[in-house]
A and B are shown apart, each in its own frame.
Chain A
Amino acid sequence: MLLDVKGLRVAYRTVYGDLEAVRSLDFAVEKGESVAIVGESGCGKSSLGHAIVRLLPPNATYEGEVLVDGKDVFSLKGRRLREYRGSDAFMIFQDPLNSLNPVKRVDRQMLEAIRTQKIMRDEPYDEEEATKVVVEGLKGVRMPDPEVILRRYPHELSGGQIQRVVIAMALVMKPKILIADEPTSALDVTIQAQVMKLIKELKAEYGMSVLFITHDMAVAYTVADRFLVMYAGELSELGPVDKVVTRPLHPYTTALVNSIPHKSKREGDLVAIPGSPPNMLAPPSGCRFHPRCPKVMDICNTVNPGVKQVEDRLLRCHLYD
């Protein structure tokens, strides 16, 4: 087991009271495995990712345990934490256009990553050698003319190029687990497909585990081994991609699967699910999905179903009690 999340809770303090973005979440990711986290906007996917790399904003509180390669992430401090970031886990953030520092050239930003790693491992840093590694990394993401790209400022790159630079950075860092937060949401469809292919290849080539965050099941289907479906901060269903897609058990998963547009892989058609996402400040009582659930029962209004093992899946639903 490379990543083990136990009883994770993430809450944000707001002027309107506490907002529970992730609640009693348990799951694990094996080495070389890739898990896609899917769910509507605001269900806590990014919060989960940020918690794993310990980059939650200052108003967040977190409880529970996250183990990465045996390291208790929440107890890491100072240098140990810095070593963990980058070499154990690396996260690609949601907003590609803001992922690079606008005032520094691309080469400086990529070299900085290598230098930091070298310094932490007490290894000598050689600029020329590092540049070679960086160029290799860019070639690895099929970037044409890496040398030219390196001399540019981020505003001189397209969104797809920036995203590839960031993925190349991940390549260079060789983390054990890569968390990719909607790496394709701002890209157009062709580039989106390229990036997905890239991540898949990386996984195969380096045996990296991948946590792939998206709200688009169709996209996730192409890269992931398992789906983790989240609703309002909670796990709804966790299982192998094929089974989840062909025979979803949770009514929310069913709704998500039905909303996948059949022909094109265009994103963002989750609107088709009736009802609106819950107000996270005052989530519904009982099962959080019950106001929108077609199969709602009396018990759903009052009792939050626990997580149960059903066949080879985890489920949070009263239908399978």
Chain B
Amino acid sequence: MESKDTNKAGRFRLFKGKSHTTSVSVHNEAEVPLGESSGLRFIAGFIRRDKIALTGAIGIGIFFVYGLIQGIIEMAADYTHNLALSYVLLPSNPFQFNFARSLGAPTLANFPVGIFGYDETGRSILSRILYAIPKDALASVLIVVSAIVIGMFLGISAGYLGGWADEILMRVTDAFLAFPLIVFAIALSLTLGNGYVVVLVALTIIWWPTYARFFRAQALTLKSRGYVEAARLSGLSPFSIIVRHIFPNAIDPIVAIATLDFGNVILTYSTLAFLGIGVQVGQPELGSMAASGLQYVPRVWWYALFPSIVIMAIVVCYSLLGDRIQDMVGGRLSY
């Protein structure tokens, strides 16, 4: 397990799927295509060349840039108590009732307000989707990043200290991983109290163990390769040496894992919203819109469908990109 992870990082630099590094690996360094090194620059270069990865990256880019802008506007609106400000970018007011067009079908009239149809109180589904997106964007970034930070700290410490600390961490992560995401998230967010922030906290509590395991494995390999000894001999703190050497090795696989994970967070988050966990009444939320829409299925198909499709589109973009990066990092993509 331990050696596998580094192998992956190593193989990716060789950029071919073989693992015969034993013989004369010195020469292989010269094979790094076009002189690019490992790390983010290389991944970025790869994305530019790969159509599938590029599609995903563009989708995610739009999602984030939009999410960031709209999110800031919503926060500003919240802060100034000026609701009208929150939807300046949107085609219409997402909170505007209009019972005359309750459950109205998608229409080109009043473009683009009605293209996704209207909900049971006649609010524009398009506007509500656009209003809800920043929450998903924030959730995915915040949860994955905090999980990485927590996992990194605990995983590296456990791997470095070894012995009991390590054993305990492994069992604790086992225990955490034993709870299905959704079940644990529901249990946690209900006991902690309902709300957006609570869901974020609950998901972070659930999310770190996989990363802890990953970083533990990285630390163990470095230890077995004698970095710790070398650090002692040179008078440096072994811990800081490990931390410093883990980053270059970990960055490629972490980017791959995290990219896929962003999508998982959004799926879990919207499933919770679907069950009504963490949703404030009246606030648009992709999952809860789908849930409300389902009551009117099959006659009113658009209400549940469009929010679901948006969730799916975002997750597909993450998967396209993450899948390709993972293949590349794993050395399975020499072509």
A and B touch in the complex (CB under 8 A): yes
A-B contact pairs, 24 of them (CB 8 A): A12-B334, A14-B15, A14-B335, A15-B49, A15-B50, A15-B333, A57-B334, A95-B18, A95-B20, A98-B19, A182-B23, A185-B20, A185-B23, A185-B24, A186-B22, A215-B23, A215-B24, A268-B24, A270-B27, A271-B27, A277-B27, A277-B31, A279-B30, A280-B31
Q: Does B46 contact A (CB under 8 A)?
A: yes
Q: Does B28 contact A (CB under 8 A)?
A: yes
Chain A residues contacting B100 (CB-CB under 8 Å) are none
Q: Does A59 contact B (CB under 8 A)?
A: yes
A186-B23, A268-B23 known; 10 new pairs, CB 8 Å cut-off, are: A12-B334, A13-B335, A14-B15, A14-B334, A15-B49, A41-B24, A42-B30, A94-B18, A186-B22, A279-B35
Interface pair A12/B30, CB less than 8 Å apart: no
Interface core residue of B15, B30, B34, B46 (most chain A CB under 10 Å) = B30
Interface pair A185/B22, CB less than 8 Å apart: yes
Chain A residues contacting B34 (CB-CB under 8 Å) are 16, 279, 281-282
B residues contacting the other copy or chain, number (CB 8 A): 22
For the complex formed, measure the closest distance between the CB of A238 and the CB atoms of chain B, giving whole angstroms: 23
CB contacts between A and B, total, < 8 Å: 68
Chain B residues contacting A185 (CB-CB under 8 Å) are 20, 22-24
Interface pair A59/B30, CB less than 8 Å apart: no
Interface pair B22/A59, CB less than 8 Å apart: no
Bound together, the chains give a CA A41 to CA B19 distance in angstroms of: 13
Interface pair B46/A15, CB less than 8 Å apart: yes
Q: Please, which residue of chain A has its CB at the minimum distance from the CB of B14? A: A42
Provide the main secondary structure of the chain A interface: loop
Chain A residues contacting B33 (CB-CB under 8 Å) are 14, 16, 279, 281
Chain A residues contacting B26 (CB-CB under 8 Å) are 268, 271
Q: Does A276 contact B (CB under 8 A)?
A: yes
Interface pair A94/B20, CB less than 8 Å apart: yes
Chain A residues contacting B195 (CB-CB under 8 Å) are none
Chain B residues contacting A57 (CB-CB under 8 Å) are 17, 334
Top 9 nearest A-B pairs (CB, nearest first) are A59-B335, A41-B27, A185-B23, A276-B30, A13-B335, A16-B33, A14-B335, A41-B24, A95-B20
A34-51: CB near B (< 8 Å → 1, else 0) gives 000000111000000000
**Band of interface residues on A:** 20 to 34
Bound together, the chains give a CA A176 to CA B30 distance in angstroms of: 36
Chain A residues contacting B28 (CB-CB under 8 Å) are 41-42
Interface pair A59/B24, CB less than 8 Å apart: no
Q: Which residues from chain B sit less than 8 Å from chain A, CB to CB?
A: 15, 17-20, 22-24, 26-28, 30-31, 33-35, 46, 49-50, 333-335
Bound together, the chains give a CA A41 to CA B50 distance in angstroms of: 28
Chain A residues contacting B335 (CB-CB under 8 Å) are 12-15, 59
Bound together, the chains give a CA A40 to CA B26 distance in angstroms of: 11
Bound together, the chains give a CA A267 to CA B23 distance in angstroms of: 9
Interface pair A16/B31, CB less than 8 Å apart: no
Chain A residues contacting B334 (CB-CB under 8 Å) are 12, 14, 57, 59
Bound together, the chains give a CA A185 to CA B24 distance in angstroms of: 9
Bound together, the chains give a CA A41 to CA B22 distance in angstroms of: 12
Interface pair B27/A40, CB less than 8 Å apart: yes
For the complex formed, measure the closest distance between the CB of B178 and the CB atoms of chain A, giving whole angstroms: 29
Q: Please, which residue of chain B has its CB at the minimum distance from the CB of A14? A: B335
Chain A residues contacting B20 (CB-CB under 8 Å) are 94-95, 185
Known: A15-B333, A15-B335, A279-B33. A42 touches B23 (CB 8 A): no
Q: Please, which residue of chain A has its CB at the minimum distance from the CB of B53? A: A15
Q: Please, which residue of chain A has its CB at the minimum distance from the CB of B328? A: A15
Bound together, the chains give a CA A16 to CA B28 distance in angstroms of: 17
Q: Please, which residue of chain A has its CB at the minimum distance from the CB of B28? A: A41
Q: Please, which residue of chain B has its CB at the minimum distance from the CB of A59? A: B335
From the candidates B19, B35, B46, name the one contacting A95 in the complex (CB within 8 A). B19
Chain A residues contacting B49 (CB-CB under 8 Å) are 15-16
From the candidates B19, B31, B46, name the one contacting A42 in the complex (CB within 8 A). B31
Bound together, the chains give a CA A185 to CA B335 distance in angstroms of: 27
From the candidates A13, A15, A270, name the one contacting B24 in the complex (CB within 8 A). A270
For the complex formed, measure the closest distance between the CB of A275 and the CB atoms of chain B, giving whole angstroms: 10
Chain B residues contacting A12 (CB-CB under 8 Å) are 334-335
A174-200: CB near B (< 8 Å → 1, else 0) gives 000000001001100000000000000
Bound together, the chains give a CA A95 to CA B33 distance in angstroms of: 24
For the complex formed, measure the closest distance between the CB of A190 and the CB atoms of chain B, giving whole angstroms: 18
Within 8 A of B (CB), among A271-297: 271, 276-277, 279-282
Chain B residues contacting A41 (CB-CB under 8 Å) are 23-24, 27-28
Bound together, the chains give a CA A270 to CA B28 distance in angstroms of: 13
Q: Please, which residue of chain B has its CB at the minimum distance from the CB of A182? A: B23
For the complex formed, measure the closest distance between the CB of B26 and the CB atoms of chain A, giving whole angstroms: 6
Chain B residues contacting A182 (CB-CB under 8 Å) are 23
For the complex formed, measure the closest distance between the CB of B185 and the CB atoms of chain A, giving whole angstroms: 38
Interface core residue of A15, A95, A280 (most chain B CB under 10 Å) = A15
Within 8 A of B (CB), among A1-23: 12-16
Q: Please, which residue of chain B has its CB at the minimum distance from the CB of A271? A: B26
Interface core residue of A16, A182, A185 (most chain B CB under 10 Å) = A16
Bound together, the chains give a CA A281 to CA B49 distance in angstroms of: 15
Q: Please, which residue of chain A has its CB at the minimum distance from the CB of B23? A: A185
Q: Please, which residue of chain A has its CB at the minimum distance from the CB of B333? A: A15
Q: Please, which residue of chain A has its CB at the minimum distance from the CB of B46? A: A15
Chain A residues contacting B30 (CB-CB under 8 Å) are 42, 276-277, 279
Q: Please, which residue of chain A has its CB at the minimum distance from the CB of B32? A: A279
Chain B residues contacting A42 (CB-CB under 8 Å) are 27-28, 30-31
Q: Please, which residue of chain B has its CB at the minimum distance from the CB of A282? A: B34
For the complex formed, measure the closest distance between the CB of B258 and the CB atoms of chain A, giving whole angstroms: 22
Chain A residues contacting B23 (CB-CB under 8 Å) are 41, 94, 182, 185-186, 215, 267-268
Bound together, the chains give a CA A186 to CA B24 distance in angstroms of: 10
